[in-house]
Structure 1
């Protein structure tokens, strides 16, 4: 079967592509790695070139681009494309209805990660896909219940080049979850992370909002990545929420608060415990941060975070689960 894979450019997207490939017993003709806020543009420029199957995975929907996504998918379907979309982010019911109306096969389940959705609905008897999805979900939706997830995430994200992710997709497709090369790579990555925590300590401030401690950080150079830095700083400060900005976007993390609410307020989305949005910091603050003067950018981002949380309020993850619509 010939098909294109369009996936998020992270561990979950990589794992999703591999699990799907194992389900259909074929590697994709091409893999397109992208972000949710760029999906509409990628679909607009996609040329089928004789390949009429398209899978989309681990890419949530931004309300601001949904109409463009519908228009571009409809155009592809009219050209003969068969489109399957697998996702686990929070969606509106009307989005699923609209996509199905134009002919998209939608597999949506918020109880698992992107790779988990594909494993569950396309290939539930494949033990390797189960193990890969378990490791992926552990870190992607902040379950932290599978040690292999912490290891594999570092391997996948060690090299930002898409050719590396393509190589990993082939390895996973062939049933290789870990090898000796990964051991050495993991050791080097962890060493860089440990050194990087010194930079993290100079890049944050702690504030209090309605009795909750909130860590606000601006991006540091190099590892650790946001997920590991957030765990480190929240544990160190006993904070409920972590927010980090890199100049173009902001990320939220928590172990107990539904931070997706904050991301949505800023025009983004994500998971209840790990979410983000675009946030363009004024260029002068970005420049100062780049040369080591972090205060102005940190203060600007902190004000955004304070105002956003004040508008939304704190909703626990358990409360949000009770009020959410059951996935289907």
Structure 2
């Protein structure tokens, strides 16, 4: 007699829109997905409580997340946007979110033109842009000016995000949050005023070993273009900021392009033009650090994976020369 096996019921995870609709508080925080985002969210949680709904977004998915929010009734609640800069056409999504009943507050430290600000302002309650600090610093000044713990978090995060490298703790946090699985862990510790503890130190030690191997592999495949800028183009195997810094020391370049197998890239530059170049490749960011994406198909992806060969390197170098 055959055995009848009862299938285990798998609990369905709520969709993003279901999470937004079922939010526990009147605050949704849409931010980036790095240390600066973790710091910004930590400060928000210090001020608004740990029950706020946080949405961590890559630069490329910013528009998609805005579309998800616009599909939900805002009911006059706050949508706080931080550490995400202007993208071409994003005002259309901002308008839809506003029309859905959300009160939008935008806190950023990326470079905006006055024209870009004017496109967004009709649909937001406030737009605060300060390029002299990191996004955590902007959020802290706006919400938690008298909070000493928040100020310390902002100081450490800005040390890393603005490449000051004066506080060794910031490099540890930057490394750990380069792994997406630890982003919420660091956020939660920062929200409690904890910068570094034994758990974070153990995680960092393990990542450090992996980082060194990845950096060597990237730099070994580097291709250097010499012209208006000395550009090192290389495949990325993780740790783009740290790899860029090491490549700058070893290769004497002043611009580093690290490209992942998906076609997404991370760009660092001495000259304050990084964001201008990245915008030509579906991206954006800071004058000295940004991200974008090449339109990679299966062939380009496999050429990078198998041989460490970056497709689009010549086109990128030409774009950089034209800036």
Query: What's the TM-score, normalizing by structure 2?
Result: 0.84
What's the secondary structure of 1:250's corresponding residue? strand
1:136 is aligned to 157
1:22 is aligned to 46
Measured after TM superposition, the shift of residue 303 of structure 1 is: 0.7
Q: How does 1:83-162 map to 2 (within 5 A)?
A: 83-158=104-179, 160-161=180-181
Aligned match for 1:268, one of 251, 265, 283: 283
1:196 aligns with 2:207: no
What's the secondary structure of 1:86's corresponding residue? strand
Mean CA deviation greater in 86-95 or 46-55: 46-55
State how far apart, in whole Å, the 1-side matches of 2:277 and 2:118 are.
Answer: 26
Aligned match for 1:185, one of 200, 203, 216: 203
Measured after TM superposition, the shift of residue 148 of structure 1 is: 1.6
State how far apart, in whole Å, the 1-side matches of 2:119 and 2:320 are.
Answer: 31
Aligned match for 2:58, one of 16, 19, 35: 35
Measured after TM superposition, the shift of residue 269 of structure 1 is: 1.6
Q: Are the counterparts in 2 of residues 7 and 33 from structure 1 also a CA contact under 8 Å? A: yes
State how far apart, in whole Å, the 2-side matches of 1:284 and 1:133 are.
Answer: 43
Q: 1:105 to 1:268 in 2, by over 3 A?
A: same
Q: 1:75 to 1:50 in 2, by over 3 A?
A: closer
Q: 1:49 to 1:275 in 2, by over 3 A?
A: closer
Unpaired segments ≥5 residues, structure 2: 1-24
1:303 is aligned to 314
Measured after TM superposition, the shift of residue 50 of structure 1 is: 6.1
RMSD: 2.1
Aligned match for 1:215, one of 217, 232, 257: 232
State how far apart, in whole Å, the 1-side matches of 2:213 and 2:119 are.
Answer: 48
State how far apart, in whole Å, the 2-side matches of 1:146 and 1:72 are.
Answer: 42
What's the secondary structure of 1:183's corresponding residue? helix
1:241 aligns with 2:255: yes
What's the secondary structure of 2:107's corresponding residue? strand
Q: 1:176 to 1:51 in 2, by over 3 A?
A: farther
Measured after TM superposition, the shift of residue 257 of structure 1 is: 4.7
Measured after TM superposition, the shift of residue 124 of structure 1 is: 1.7
Aligned match for 1:72, one of 96, 99, 122: 96
Measured after TM superposition, the shift of residue 178 of structure 1 is: 1.8
Q: Are the counterparts in 1 of residues 294 and 312 from structure 2 also a CA contact under 8 Å? A: no
Measured after TM superposition, the shift of residue 195 of structure 1 is: 2.5
Query: What's the TM-score, normalizing by structure 1?
Result: 0.83
How many residues were matched structurally? 296
2:296 is aligned to 281
Q: 1:125 to 1:12 in 2, by over 3 A?
A: same
The structure that has the greater radius of gyration is 2
State how far apart, in whole Å, the 2-side matches of 1:259 and 1:99 are.
Answer: 23
State how far apart, in whole Å, the 1-side matches of 2:32 and 2:215 are.
Answer: 27
2:10 is aligned to none
State how far apart, in whole Å, the 1-side matches of 2:217 and 2:288 are.
Answer: 24
Measured after TM superposition, the shift of residue 73 of structure 1 is: 2.2
State how far apart, in whole Å, the 2-side matches of 1:240 and 1:214 are.
Answer: 6
Mean CA deviation greater in 272-281 or 252-261: 252-261
